[in-house]
Amino acid sequence: MKKIAKIIEKEKQKNKLLQTLMKKNQKTDKKTVFELVKQFNQKPNLTTILKTIKTKRSTYYYWLKVENKIKAKKEKYLLQQNRIKALCLQEKYFCGHRKITDLYQKTFNENITKKKIYTIMKENGIFLSFKN
């Protein structure tokens, strides 16, 4: 009796999961899968959820790994942006991207290309200002 009750409970949870997926009326992309896993994480186990959505477990973990790498890249980019802004402010905007590159590498002991510095400066509107 207990086994049957467990099976019925699992099927109800699968139904609920599929109904939620149908309400969104989307393909099973990364965002949808992550939302459903977060929403139904308490009761059915991860394997059951992923089987219901028809997504492989290895794919799910690959997506998680890639998502973490993307977050780390964004954080590093924001840090670089803030450092470049600080250097430009320190130099009172009288330096171009080449000089800022040299200052950045000396100050923070981190290699960064001139092109990357130029791109960040261009995106943030940090330009070399001339004295009149």
Q: What is the pLDDT of residues 55-112, one digit of tens each?
A: 888 988 898 899 889 999 999 999 999 999 999 999 888 888 999 999 999 999 999 9
- Report pLDDT for 132: 45
Indicate if the pLDDT at residue 130 is higher than 90. no
What's the rounded Cα separation, in Å, for the pair 46 and 52? 10
What's the rounded Cα separation, in Å, for the pair 104 and 112? 8
Yes or no: say if 92 and 127 are a contact pair by the CB < 8 Å rule: no
Structure tokens of 44?
């059915």
Band (125; pLDDT cuts 50, 70, 90) = confident
Summarize the confidence of residues 41-52 as an average pLDDT: 73
Band (120; pLDDT cuts 50, 70, 90) = very high
pLDDT in tens, 12-46: 777 676 666 655 655 667 777 777 777 766 666 77
Structure tokens of 94?
């009288």
Q: What are the structural domain ranges in the chain?
A: 2-55, 75-123
pLDDT in tens, 2-16: 777 777 777 777 767
- Report pLDDT for 46: 78
Please state the pTM of the whole predicted model.
Answer: 0.60
Which amino acid makes up residue 114?
A: K
